């Protein structure tokens, strides 16, 4: 048998959990409705293909990714590219794998920059952000 005080706390926990779940669904719905999730996935795929292509090309190379990625953080680690919103927890985080090489494990985080600059110098890839 529960006391009245316990029932009130239990109700508060249920209400708070419900609000958090509903907020997550609303954010996800807005993101998918504005096609933002699909854009993030397209960016992750583009960068993955670009990294694999740059590894295959001989010599040194410098490439600036032309699509606007401001407002997103791009994390490249363990052969996975993650694209997510900068401001808060992102319920529509998108990621994509790339092949890469065993010799060169990329580990980069680019926060809220307009463009990405991908360079290959002496067989090593370096990724940095470029503002406007």
**Residue 26 included in any domain:** no
Residue 3 lies in a domain: no
> What pLDDT, on the 0 to 100 scale, is given for residue 76?
93
Using CB atoms within 10 Å of the CB of residue 110, give its burial: 0 to 12 exposed, 13 to 18 middle, 19+ buried.
Answer: buried
Query: Can you read off the two tokens belonging to residue 81?
Result: 């590219």
Instruction: Give residue 59's pLDDT.
Output: 92
Range of the domain at 83: 35-130
Query: Is 70 part of any domain?
Result: yes
What local confidence, expressed as pLDDT, does residue 5 receive? 64
Residue 18 lies in a domain: no
Q: Is residue 2 part of a domain?
A: no
User: Within a domain: residue 57?
Assistant: yes
> Can you give 16-80 as a three-state secondary structure string?
HHHHHHHHHHHHHHHHHHCCHHHHHHHHHHHHHHHHHHHHHCCCCEEEEECCCCCCEEEEEECCE
Residue 93 lies in a domain: yes
> Does residue 89 lie in a domain region?
yes
pLDDT in tens, 32-44: 777 888 899 999 9
Q: What is the pLDDT of residue 4?
A: 63
* Total residues found in the chain within this entry: 132
The predicted model scores a pTM of 0.73
Structural domain count of the chain: 1
Query: Which stretches of the chain drop beneath a pLDDT of 70?
Result: 1-5, 31, 87-88
Number of other residues whose CB lies within 10 A of the CB of residue 11? 10
């Amino acid at each position: 048998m529960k006391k009245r005080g316990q029932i009130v706390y239990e109700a508060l926990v249920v209400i708070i959990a419900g609000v958090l779940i509903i907020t997550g669904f609303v954010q996800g719905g807005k993101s998918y409705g504005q096609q933002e999730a699909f854009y993030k996935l397209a960016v992750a795929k583009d960068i993955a293909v670009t990294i694999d292509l740059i590894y295959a090309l001989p010599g040194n190379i410098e490439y600036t990714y032309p699509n606007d990625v401001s407002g997103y953080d791009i994390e490249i680690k363990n052969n996975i590219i993650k694209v997510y919103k900068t401001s808060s927890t992102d319920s529509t985080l998108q990621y994509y794998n790339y092949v890469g090489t065993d010799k060169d494990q990329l580990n980069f985080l680019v926060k809220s920059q307009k463009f990405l600059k991908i360079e290959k110098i002496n067989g090593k890839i370096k990724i940095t952000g470029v503002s406007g």
